[in-house]
Amino acid sequence: MNHNINKLTPASLKTFCRSPETLSRIALYRTTKKRAAEIKTKIDKMRNEVLLQYVIIDVWTKERITNHEITYKADLDSPEMKAYEKACEDELPNIGFPGVPEGYCPALIAGHAAIRAELDLVAYALKALGFPPEDRIQPHLREKFLELILNPPMH
């Protein structure tokens, strides 16, 4: 992407960041990211509360698991683990997620939507700022590029 970096001027960035299309995509990204974080918090809380009703054991340490994020350390085929997963699925409608297909997680679905919104915003920004379609932003620069789009230096 370096051969096109000279196209990015303060004026072009200012124009880009103030366009209605850009503002709309930024709003969608922020809303989707915020909603994903809220859903993850809600799901994490529910899964940890349900976990307290079961004795799930870490297969390596032989200690009880009390945080749902490390249930991967359990025997996933154990009756206790299967009952726990079923109880979590059964609890979804009670915390505001009716109709979720079996085996799906609202937090992962929302997280995926946030990633898609970010990818769409970055792709749109590259195109709108005049970079050719074959240009791809390097992963280690992605966060800085996104930060520049979301919080441009407007003097």
* Per-position DSSP letters for the chain, written without gaps between them: -GGGGGG--HHHHHHHHHSHHHHHHHHHHHHHHHHHHHHHHHHHHHHHHHHTTS--BBTTT-PBP--GGGGGGB-TTSHHHHHHHHHHHHHGGGGT-TTPPTT--HHHHHHHHHHHHHHHHHHHHHHHTT--TT----HHHHHHHHHHHHS----
pTM of the model: 0.83
pLDDT for the residue numbered 70: 96
- Please state, in angstroms and as integers, the Cα–Cα distance from residue 110 to each residue in 25, 44, 89, 123, following that order: 17, 13, 16, 20
Contacts of 47 (CB under 8 A, 6+ apart): 68, 88
How far apart CA 55 and CA 81 sit, in angstroms, is 9
Can you give the residue ranges of every domain in the chain?
Answer: 43-104, 106-155
Per-residue pLDDT of the chain (155 residues; tens, 9 = 90+): 444 555 677 788 888 889 999 999 999 999 999 999 999 999 999 999 999 999 999 999 999 999 999 999 999 999 999 999 999 999 999 999 999 998 899 999 999 999 999 999 998 998 888 877 666 778 788 888 888 889 887 65
